Amino acid sequence: MLARGISVVCLDNLLTGSTRTIAHLLPRNDFTFLKRDLTGPVQVQGPVGHVFHLASAASPADYLRWPIQTLEVGSQGTRNALELAQRKGARFVLASTSEVYGDPLEHPQRESYWGNVNPVGPRSVYDEAKRYAEALTSAFRHARGLDTGIVRIFNTYGPRMRPDDGRAIPTFLRQALRNEPVTVTGDGSQTRSICHVDDTVRGIVGLALSAHAGPMNIGSPYEISMLDLARLAIRLTGSRSAIRFVERPVDDPRVRRPDTTLAREALGWAPAVSVEGGLRSTIAWFVRELALTRSA
């Protein structure tokens, strides 16, 4: 957005983040960071054209650590962000997730699929928070006429992730770079579709600048098993790591791959970053991050 000449105000309570990831933006006059909890009152000075609601713990390790906060930011936080957009006459964009599909009985997953979600399982704090956020966003659109868009994001990775994030790619790369055993859950046959952050951002911005209401899948149709992803991480890092199998989490989805026909037809969007190219840029980031951790 800054590259398009649009000023940005960023609100974050830093529950899972750090200002180090935006340090290069802080000196700019067109970027403002406000440490705010979205579940409290939200005020932003001046005109606002778009409100992007991306606030949530996204890693299972994080939302299992902070279950109440995850539910609150998906409910009251979404309400506050919607009210802000309403007051400002802004277009509202909700970052939803492929997790609304749960452990899917349809493969690949189209936007019309309602999902297979356990409402009381350990992952429900994230899954149901996002499903509620979609319902609330739709209610504001239909009852109040708010201009809204919903994007369902699939497994994004790339630079600026935390080494201790807990998701598969940060975990595999951290372990491989340290020559530690790479831990694969279950037998590793479960699949994910991984999409580089550059492609994900292009899709989100494309939806924001369109008039489409969504929901719209943004993710890569490239599907890979967790075992093959672990092997790829070891190969690309030149690691001496071995693979170690550990217990698979409860309600861990067996498959995950988006049908991106809608994004292609409505936005002309398709992922452009290759898997190896994306992983190599991510590895370079983790090499620097882990070096900083050792020197701290």
CA 137/CA 146 separation, integer angstroms: 9
CB contact set of 172 (below 8 Å; sequence gap of 6+): 182, 229, 230, 233, 234
C-alpha 37/C-alpha 205 separation (Å) is: 24
Q: Compute CA 266 distance to the chain's CA centroid, rounded to the nearest angstrom.
A: 21
CB atoms within 10 A of CB 8: 15
Active-site residue among 113, 126, 132, 157?
A: 126
> Which 3 state secondary structure label does DSSP give 106?
coil
Residue 101 annotated to the active site: no
User: What gap in Å lies between CA 75 and CA 72, rounded to an integer?
Assistant: 5
Residues labelled catalytic: 126
